Amino acid sequence: MKKTKITVAVSGLNNTDNPGPGIPVIRALRESDFYDVKIIGLAYENLEPGIYMHEWVDKTYQVPYPSSGSEKLLQRLEYINSIENIDVLIPNFDAELYSFITNSERLKNIGISTFLPTLKQFEERHKANLPEYGKKYDVLVPHSRPINSLSEIYTLTPEFTYPLLVKGKFYDAFVAFNPEQVAQHFNKLVSKWGLPIIIQEFIRGTEVNVIALGDGKGNTIGAVPMRKTYITDKGKAWGGITLDDEEMLRLTTSIIKQTKWRGGMELELIKTNENKYYLVEINPRIPAWVYLAVGAGQNLPEALVKLALGKKVKPFTSYESGKMFIRYSWDMIVNLNEFEKLSTTGEL
């Protein structure tokens, strides 16, 4: 079968010990049976490893942080598009999603397709809204409350018992055993991610995750459950194994059906010893461990690109359980002139 040539822009090239999903997404697209992809990398930092991985990324452009304003980011993207003719954009950072969701029409008008959740879907699954989310969609969630000041720390008991979790708005979570530790984590998280800080009940159990893709009409195109088998000190999966867990799949399809979720997502769940599943977070994008799903039989990034381009996609009906991924690190040797070129021209 002749493959269709397309150009896909991908962010999240930070293939570090806290990896972005960019490189695994690209790897999945390179294995597509339908598309011959040209990959345009979008990088925020000049040391994101993906920039220098030329076998995966054809050309990289530096882009301004979303915190410097959506307009700047979009103008840069318009410039990149004038050279590269991007067909599909797959953003992989939570922090940039708002800009791309709210400007998806503007992107569409210059020929760039996306397949992102709606603003309503994106907003209502925020960590701060999790209790309402659980109630609305009949999902068990740990009790949580957003706080906006240090003084609120001393009002947490008896509503919460220690230990509890202190979570940042976008990323990071710490266990705290007393108010002093909460204050410490509060300050750290505020300076990194801003307010609010989320205080969450600590549920004992095993952390399990599901990667899924919703078609925006209530159908689940694919879903693969996984348990982390090796976790870094940042809480990131460095190894994992696919599970045969019907309850996790039921929960996923139920959430996608009710919310009509559009795009990639990751459900973070805690499975207790009583076999109850608590939803602790919904990440509104493809997670960094996406290649495990590809290895288990579901090329979800390829399906997402098809959906973005308006193609019909048949839902996956199976995957292989017991498939493992084990990450590793690799030292690339990079010539200074490459770093220089990216740093001075913003392109490589």
Count, residues near other proteins per rule CB under 8 A:
14
Q: How far is the CB of 341 from other proteins (least distance, A)?
A: 44
Q: How far is the CB of 230 from other proteins (least distance, A)?
A: 12
What is the DSSP code (8-state) at residue 153?
Answer: G
Binding mask 132-171 for other proteins (x = CB under 8 A): ----------------------------------------
Segment contacting other proteins by CB under 8 A, of 19-27, 77-85, 123-131, 240-248: 240-248
Q: Which of residues 312-341 bind other proteins (CB under 8 A)?
A: 321-322
Binds other proteins (CB under 8 A): choice among 4, 18, 187, 206: 206
- What is the CA angle 330-11-9, rounded to 5? 115
Segment contacting other proteins by CB under 8 A, of 56-64, 74-82, 110-118, 225-233: 225-233
Distance in angstroms (rounded) separating the CA atoms of residues 24 and 211: 13
Residues 6+ apart with CB under 8 A from 254: 137, 138, 139
Cβ-contact 9, 40 below 8 angstroms: yes
Residue 99: which of 82, 87, 112, 86 has the closest Cα? 112
Distance in angstroms (rounded) separating the CA atoms of residues 198 and 250: 27
Helix (H) or strand (E) holding 89: strand 88-90
Q: Which of residues 256-315 bind other proteins (CB under 8 A)?
A: 275
Segment contacting other proteins by CB under 8 A, of 62-70, 174-182, 243-251, 289-297: 243-251
Q: How far is the CB of 241 from other proteins (least distance, A)?
A: 4
Binds other proteins (CB under 8 A): choice among 227, 236, 257, 260: 227
Helix (H) or strand (E) holding 78: helix 70-84
Burial of 25 (0-12, 13-18, 19+ CB in 10 A): buried
Binds other proteins (CB under 8 A): choice among 62, 104, 200, 242: 242
Tokens for 267, please give them: 């459900």
Length of the chain: 348
8 or 243: CB nearest other proteins: 243
Q: Is 237 in the site for other proteins (CB under 8 A)?
A: no
273 or 344: CB nearest other proteins: 273
Its sign, for the CA torsion 295, 297, 298, 302, is: positive
Q: Which residues bind other proteins (CB under 8 A)?
A: 206, 226-227, 229, 241-247, 275, 321-322
